[in-house]
Amino acid sequence: MTAPATNTPTTAAPRGAVRAPALLVLEDGYVLRGSAYAATGRTVGEIVFSTGMTGYQETLTDPSYHRQIVVMTAPHIGNTGVNEEDPESGRVWVAGFVVRDAARRASSWRATKELEDELAEHGIVGLCDVDTRALTRHLRERGVMRAGIFSGAALPAGAEHLTEQAREVLLEVVRESPQMRGADLAREVSTEEAYVVEPSGEFAGKEPVATVVAVDLGIKARTPQQLAARGVRVHVVPQRTTLAEVLAHRPDGVFFSNGPGDPEAATHEVDLLRGVLDAGLPFFGICFGNQLLGRALGYGTYKLEYGHRGVNQPILDRTTGKVEITAHNHGFAVDAPVAEPSVAPYQDGRYGRVEVSHVSLNDNVVEGLRALDLPAFSVQYHPEAAAGPHDAEHLFDRFVRLMQSRPGNDEGPAEAPLAGSGSPAATGEARTPDTAPTTTAPTTESEAR
């Protein structure tokens, strides 16, 4: 028996209709029977669970979830519908969506559409009427793995009775799908064209307090908005951007965003970041950007057994001693010494000393890095607070202060750490191109997607 071809996903079932059967198959042979949700057909990806009780629209439109099937641990999903204000990008990125109880209708004054209809329009194959608590416990014990959702014409003959032959056909489909380890995915979710987000709020129409180049590795719309609200002009540029193109904007700082994939495969981004560090530019990275800073400094990264996902993850800010509740979406982490500062391994300490600034209070995973001899820091979580919590928004203020305190900047005191004596930044070797790119850029995030 051969696997059925991938179907063109269909529209969502009418409200109150009897749902068609569907199967969730994990690569270790674990199978759950459920009902088709949103589109029907076939989808495969890495299956992960998100512990957030709210913010599912932001989760679905977060590019960091590219090629992942997301299981929501909260039991009732869809009751607030979807709206035009909360998306974090111009499309739904998840590979599939698994919920326990699908809401029959939205009941929020902000809703403009039903969640299931939105997912069906984007061709997202989903599953409902399954015990997501049991599924989460299975993933917690066995670790995240590849999985597939099959419904409609994508179910092989005998699937309704889950015959051994049908199970083997579906298992083969899942096990032949690509793994997340080694996946270079940022280029698949990055903007095609650069665009600018101008200062907003009380800073609208005024000269920016700083100019930042934000490298889009899967950036969420809320991130440049956070900087713009602090008076920063943000040039959002594609993943493929070169160092010369970054420097052409004459930035006061550089930002690396969140994004999907294995940081070990992101060689271009690591090379670009080393150029930024060599130029002595203040740097701030979040999530994927944190992992890339770790690799640029010479530390390793590794894949977590089940990752951190959701909006309720506790971390300790070792700089302030405060505990913050934060939003996470990562399956990889930096391998750096936690107990005390260490010399960055790259090229025999070229970038000086580094400390682990934040740690997870659940499993002691590295959640932040701070260079002690360079103006660079990063965190593993999402401080842009979409859909919350807001505990870590102050990190954007920290980045602005770091840029303003850069030597030669008259906006503030010279508090930023200087580059190590062995770096090109300290010896004046950084390159500055004469002209900026002439490409006409879109002015909004949605135009860039």
- Residues making up the annotated binding site for L-glutamine are 64, 259, 261, 288, 291, 329, 331-332
Shortest CA distance to 82 belongs to which of 74, 91, 73? 91
At residue 282, what is the residue type? P
What is the secondary structure of 351-400 as a DSSP string?
T-EEEEEEEETTT--EEEEEESSSSEEEESS-TT-SS---TTTHHHHHHH
CA dist 252 and 105 (Å) reads 48
Strands 195-197 and 232-237, by their bridges, are antiparallel
Report the binding-site residues: 64, 259, 261, 288, 291, 329, 331-332
The DSSP call for residue 169 is H
Beta strands in 174-273 (DSSP E): 195-197, 210-215, 232-237, 253-256
The length of the chain is: 449
58 Cβ contact list (under 8 Å, min separation 6)? 86, 87, 88, 220, 222, 386, 387
CA atoms within 13 Å, Cβ hemisphere of 395: 29
CA dist 149 and 69 (Å) reads 9
Q: Phi first, then psi: what are they for 168, rounded to 5°?
A: -65, -35
88, 287, 324, 358: the catalytic one is 287
Contact criterion met (CB below 8 Å) for 249 and 276: no
Is 287 catalytic? The answer is yes
Is 128 catalytic? The answer is no
- For the annotated catalytic residues, the residue numbers are 287, 382, 384
